[in-house]
């Protein structure tokens, strides 16, 4: 009975069309833990009986339909009936004030999060990171470009470095919780939506219409892929630019694109894995968990985050082919299960070359060239040259979760490619696994004399903004001074690379990599060193010597046989 | 001279199934090694593992058989007549009517050269291939087995080395055993039927 009973753990699926009805699914890996439990039963008969009894109770409940996760319909509160939310609201902060009149602690909770602070201290590397501090090779840095960058901040009005981080009313509740799909932060609005109709980008003819804030406020619910995606799918200034494994195609992905978020299947939302407590979202790209040794997470017993594959699947998820489980200690799940990124039909940016920016046409407008397929911008006078790629095979590296950034003001070696971040790990380190990465290449301005990456001032209406006057020295000077640096006057462009661990766009298992994707002479791991891998590695001289001896032996017996034949013929 | 049962039913079963398994192991093994592509890595390594376990089981029976029947004595090396046999294969065999210097009996059915070759197979090549092969299979358990200091490269090297030795043995053995009798196929026939001409 025990063997055949489906054990139901955690993940249920939401099927909104069926009114929140849920189907039971069992994640690969749960089966194995079941077997472990079964063997324990044998060892401890008394406890086993208790366990069996528990299972017997659990089975009918699991087999039957159970209420789905709390969606709008299952909530005990209907926000459309709240008098506080009837509006009208003129601004976002007014909505927040209404929210906080009931959710008294919400803003205080959010104030502690990286989403709000844009500031993160990595204890392992002792580096202060966060969006306000790091330099990247997309739009480079936040300082002096605030209103453009903070259009993805969960607040209102971060338009310069004097923003009040203790303001409760400036927390934007609805960007994460509204469900109408009409609320959008204006790209250059410092986190505000538009309150009157505007055009953006200027001259594009694309109209931004003010949302009905009362409707938006009344629609609040749990966060959805669309909510999180409104920023995370558009990082780096546009759809699919930054991550490679997160873009607008993940709003309603099919099974082939993401087996968990499959809108018609498991239909996970981001927070199904990125679990939250007091508004703190788990899972961080600054401090990655390269190997989740907690295995399957049990609420209250482990770390209360499911932001790792192992949280649900454990370390031995392959029930049918146990040999695969021998890989999980050294190979990250996504190495095989995300065979390519940018698979949804949106190419991701793989290279951004600022050095060619600044070409203007006869009217003084930046030159824009499309890619051959017309899908993307290949060159933009404001930003330089881009390379876009779809269905990208990741690069693979040993990785232990440690990521060290090249910080503002840190001396760089300009003789080669400068790492925006360095990833830790090696074959010799048992906590490292082979991980897939998007490696973003850049060519960006730096102070040639001081050998530091520069913080260019690109966005703004003032005299020095690059996107206004296309004058690098001015833009670099303003940018550097804003972070307390002095520009030497000499600038150049340096090649940079930026590692992005790939964790999303998990393909169905049929599409996972096969053995010989890596176990081959020139496979995907051809360049990953420090270990011997069957099929890829061999001792060239042993092979040469071996085959030589085999050939000599073969020649020897053939000659011996022929000689016998010839000689016996002659004599006979 | 008389015709007698030299290779019992078990011995013949053991020999031929071992032959088939070793051929299969060589074909799949060199694919896993990356020498060529035939079944694909996944299939090749899985077949290789299954064949290996089958051969291990066969070996357990064969070892049991050797000790219970005392047949292991057939492989005790001897220098007596060794040079004569070597001389026969390098010179005499090319001349007409030179008889094989070794007269086999039921109690000593292998000539001194065979004894050496088979002993080398059993005490050198096979143990090397089994030990390194089993280590290979249990690579993930090395730390818990106290073998954390081993390197997969070393084990793979020795396993490959043993595989080449096995292939060289195989070529030599097939030629000597299947083509050098009188008539040329007589040893082969003996291994199939079990019956051979032996001294009284």
Query: In this structure, what DSSP letter does residue A186 have?
Result: -
Nearest CA in chain B to A515: B42
pLDDT at B20: 98
> What is the band of A18 on the pLDDT scale with cuts at 50, 70, 90?
very low
B96 pLDDT higher than 90: no
**For A441-460, how does the pLDDT look when each residue is reduced to its tens digit (9 = 90+)?**
999 999 999 999 999 999 99
**For B105-116, how does the pLDDT look when each residue is reduced to its tens digit (9 = 90+)?**
888 888 888 888
Cβ B172–A560 below 8 Å, yes or no? no
> Is A191 or A237 the better-scoring residue by pLDDT?
A191
Cβ B157–A563 below 8 Å, yes or no? no
**Continuous segment of H or E residues that includes residue A377:** strand A377-380
Distance of residue B69 Cα from the nearest chain A Cα, in angstroms: 34
The mean pLDDT of chain A is 88
Cβ B96–A543 below 8 Å, yes or no? no
> Is A303 or A452 the better-scoring residue by pLDDT?
A452
Question: How many CA atoms within 13 Å lie on the side-chain side of B78?
Answer: 15
Number of separate domains in chain B: 1
Beta-carbon neighbour count of residue A124 at 10 Å?
A: 13
The mean pLDDT of chain B is 91
Residues of chain B neighbouring A545 (CB-CB closer than 8 A): 164
Cβ B161–A560 below 8 Å, yes or no? no
Q: Which of A515, A547, A554 sits opposite B41 (nearest CB)?
A: A515
pLDDT at B199: 79
Q: Which of A539, A545, A553 sits opposite B171 (nearest CB)?
A: A553
Name the pTM for this structure.
0.87
Query: In this structure, what DSSP letter does residue A155 have?
Result: B
**For A62-101, how does the pLDDT look when each residue is reduced to its tens digit (9 = 90+)?**
333 444 444 445 789 999 999 999 989 999 999 999 999 9
Report the distance separating Cα A340 and Cα A505, nearest Å: 8
Query: Rounded mean pLDDT of B7-12?
Result: 93
Report the distance separating Cα B119 and Cα B158, nearest Å: 19
Residue reference for tokens 């890619």? A371
User: DSSP characters for A267-321?
Assistant: ---HHHHS-EETTEEP--SSS--SS-TT-S--TTTS-S---STHHHH-S---SS-
A359 pLDDT higher than 90: yes
Buried b / exposed e along A230-255 (16+ C-beta atoms within 10 A): bbbbbbbbbbbbbbbbbbbbbbebeb
**For A91-150, how does the pLDDT look when each residue is reduced to its tens digit (9 = 90+)?**
999 999 999 999 999 999 999 999 999 999 999 999 999 999 999 999 999 999 999 999
Cβ A532–B156 below 8 Å, yes or no? yes
Structure tokens at A527: 């360049």
Q: Which residues, at least 6 apart from B57, have a Cβ–Cβ distance to it below 8 Å?
A: none
Q: Which of A539, A553, A571 sits opposite B157 (nearest CB)?
A: A539
**For A486-526, how does the pLDDT look when each residue is reduced to its tens digit (9 = 90+)?**
999 999 999 999 999 999 999 999 999 999 999 999 999 99
pLDDT at A269: 96
Give the rounded distance of the alpha carbon of A289 from its chain centre: 13
A9 pLDDT higher than 60: no
β A418-419/A491-501 pair status: parallel
**For B118-175, how does the pLDDT look when each residue is reduced to its tens digit (9 = 90+)?**
999 999 999 999 999 999 999 999 999 999 899 999 999 999 999 999 999 999 999 9
Residue reference for tokens 């209406």? A461
Q: Which of A535, A546, A567 sits opposite B34 (nearest CB)?
A: A535
For the domain that residue B100 is a member of, what is the CATH number? Answer: 1.20.950.20
Range of B184's domain? 2-198
Chain B residues contacting A via beta carbons under 8 Å: 32-35, 37, 40-42, 45-46, 93-96, 136, 139-140, 151-153, 156-157, 160-161, 163-164, 167-168, 171-172, 175-176, 179
Distance of residue A433 Cα from the nearest chain B Cα, in angstroms: 14
Query: Rounded mean pLDDT of A189-217?
Result: 93
Size of interface A-B (CB pairs under 8 A): 87
**For B61-88, how does the pLDDT look when each residue is reduced to its tens digit (9 = 90+)?**
999 999 999 888 888 888 888 888 888 8
pLDDT at A67: 43
A240 pLDDT higher than 80: yes
Report the distance separating Cα A50 and Cα A401, nearest Å: 40
**What's A470-506 look like in SS3?**
CCHHHHHHHHHHHCCCCCCCCEEEEEEEEEEECCCCC
pLDDT at B22: 97
Distance of residue A315 Cα from the nearest chain B Cα, in angstroms: 13
Residues of chain A neighbouring B171 (CB-CB closer than 8 A): 550, 553-554, 557
8 A C-beta contact, residue A338 and residue A503: yes
Q: Which residues, at least 6 apart from A108, have a Cβ–Cβ distance to it below 8 Å?
A: A168
Distance of residue A535 Cα from the nearest chain B Cα, in angstroms: 4
A57 pLDDT higher than 70: no
Q: Which of B140, B160, B167 sits opposite A550 (nearest CB)?
A: B167
Cβ A542–B160 below 8 Å, yes or no? yes
Distance of residue A295 Cα from the nearest chain B Cα, in angstroms: 18
Distance of residue A526 Cα from the nearest chain B Cα, in angstroms: 13
Cβ A516–B140 below 8 Å, yes or no? no
8 A C-beta contact, residue A467 and residue A382: yes
B contact test, residue of A535, A540, A556 with most B CBs within 10 A: A535
pLDDT at A34: 53
Distance of residue A542 Cα from the nearest chain B Cα, in angstroms: 7
> Is A8 or A418 the better-scoring residue by pLDDT?
A418
> What is the band of A572 on the pLDDT scale with cuts at 50, 70, 90?
very low
Residue positions counted in chain B = 200
Nearest CA in chain A to B177: A557
Residues of chain B neighbouring A564 (CB-CB closer than 8 A): 93-94
Residue A208 forms beta bridges with which residues?
A198
Chain A residues contacting B via beta carbons under 8 Å: 323, 326, 329, 514-516, 519-521, 531-532, 534-539, 542-543, 545-547, 549-550, 553-554, 557, 560-561, 563-564, 567-568, 571-572
Residues of chain B neighbouring A433 (CB-CB closer than 8 A): none
């Amino acid at each position: 009975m025990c063997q055949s009973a489906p054990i139901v753990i955690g993940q249920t699926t939401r099927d909104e069309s069926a009114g929140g009805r849920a189907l039971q699914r069992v994640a690969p890996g749960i089966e194995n833990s079941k077997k472990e439990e079964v063997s324990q039963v044998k060892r401890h008969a008394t406890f086993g009986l208790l366990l069996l009894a528990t299972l017997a109770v659990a089975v009918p409940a699991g087999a039957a339909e159970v209420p789905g996760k709390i969606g709008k319909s299952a909530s005990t509160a209907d926000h459309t009936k709240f008098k506080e939310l009837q509006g009208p609201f003129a601004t976002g902060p007014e909505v927040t004030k209404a929210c906080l009149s009931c959710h008294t602690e919400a803003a205080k909770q959010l104030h502690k999060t990286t989403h709000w602070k844009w500031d993160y201290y990595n204890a392992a590397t002792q580096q202060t990171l966060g969006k306000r501090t790091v330099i990247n090779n997309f739009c480079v840095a936040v300082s002096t470009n605030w209103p453009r960058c903070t259009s993805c901040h969960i607040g209102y009005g971060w338009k310069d470095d004097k923003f009040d981080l203790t303001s409760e009313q400036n927390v934007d509740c609805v960007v994460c919780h509204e469900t109408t799909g009409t609320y959008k932060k204006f790209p250059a609005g410092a986190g505000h939506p538009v309150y009157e109709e505007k055009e953006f980008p200027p001259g594009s003819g694309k109209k931004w219409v003010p949302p009905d804030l009362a409707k938006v406020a009344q629609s609040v619910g749990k966060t959805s892929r669309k909510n999180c995606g409104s920023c995370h799918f558009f990082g780096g200034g546009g759809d699919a630019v930054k991550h490679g494994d997160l873009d607008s195609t993940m709003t309603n992905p099919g099974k082939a694109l993401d087996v968990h978020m499959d809108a018609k299947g498991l239909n996970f939302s981001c927070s199904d894995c990125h679990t939250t407590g007091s508004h703190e979202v788990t899972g961080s790209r600054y401090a990655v968990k390269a190997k989740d040794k907690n295995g399957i997470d049990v609420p209250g017993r482990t770390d209360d985050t499911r932001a790792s594959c192992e949280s649900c699947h454990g370390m031995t998820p392959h029930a049918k082919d146990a040999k695969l489980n021998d890989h999980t200690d050294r190979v990250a799940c996504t190495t095989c299960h995300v065979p390519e990124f940018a698979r949804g039909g949106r190419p991701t940016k793989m290279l951004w070359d600022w050095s060619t920016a600044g070409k203007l046409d006869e009217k003084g407008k930046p030159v824009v060239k499309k890619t051959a397929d017309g899908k993307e911008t290949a060159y933009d006078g404001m930003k330089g040259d881009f390379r876009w790629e779809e269905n990208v095979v990741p690069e693979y590296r040993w990785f232990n979760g440690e990521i060290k950034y090249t910080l503002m003001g840190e001396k760089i070696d300009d003789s080669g490619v400068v790492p925006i971040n360095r990833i830790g790990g090696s074959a010799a380190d048992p906590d490292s696994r082979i991980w897939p990465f998007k490696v973003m290449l850049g060519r960006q301005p730096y102070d040639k004399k001081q050998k530091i990456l520069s913080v260019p001032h690109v966005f703004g209406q003032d005299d020095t903004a690059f996107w206004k006057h296309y004058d690098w020295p001015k833009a670099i000077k303003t940018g550097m001074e804003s972070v307390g640096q002095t520009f030497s006057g000499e600038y150049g462009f340096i090649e940079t690379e930026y590692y992005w661990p790939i964790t999303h766009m998990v393909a169905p298992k049929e599409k996972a990599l096969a053995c010989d994707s890596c176990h081959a002479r020139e496979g995907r791991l051809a360049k990953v060193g420090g270990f011997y891998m069957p099929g890829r590695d061999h001792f060239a001289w042993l092979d040469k010597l071996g085959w030589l001896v085999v050939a000599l032996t073969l020649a020897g017996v053939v000659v011996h046989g022929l000689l016998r034949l010839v000689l016996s013929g002659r004599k006979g | 001279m008389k015709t007698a049962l030299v290779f019992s039913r078990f011995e013949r079963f053991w020999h031929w199934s071992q032959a088939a398994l070793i051929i299969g192991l060589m074909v799949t093994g060199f694919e896993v090694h990356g020498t060529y592509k035939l079944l694909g890595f996944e299939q090749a390594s899985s077949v290789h593992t299954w064949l290996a376990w089958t051969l291990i089981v066969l070996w357990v029976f064969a070892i049991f058989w050797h000790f219970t029947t005392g047949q292991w004595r057939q492989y005790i090396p001897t220098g007596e007549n060794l040079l004569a046999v070597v001389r026969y294969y390098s010179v005499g065999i090319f001349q007409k009517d030179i008889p094989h210097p070794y007269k086999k009996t039921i109690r000593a059915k292998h000539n001194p050269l065979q004894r050496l070759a088979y002993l080398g197979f059993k005490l050198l090549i096979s143990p090397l291939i089994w030990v390194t092969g089993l280590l290979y299979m249990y690579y993930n358990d090395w730390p818990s087995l106290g073998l954390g200091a081993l390197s997969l490269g070393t084990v793979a090297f020795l396993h490959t080395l043993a595989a080449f030795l096995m292939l060289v043995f195989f070529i030599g053995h097939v030629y000597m055993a299947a083509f050098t009798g009188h008539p040329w196929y007589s040893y082969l026939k003996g291994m199939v039927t079990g019956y051979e001409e032996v001294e009284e």
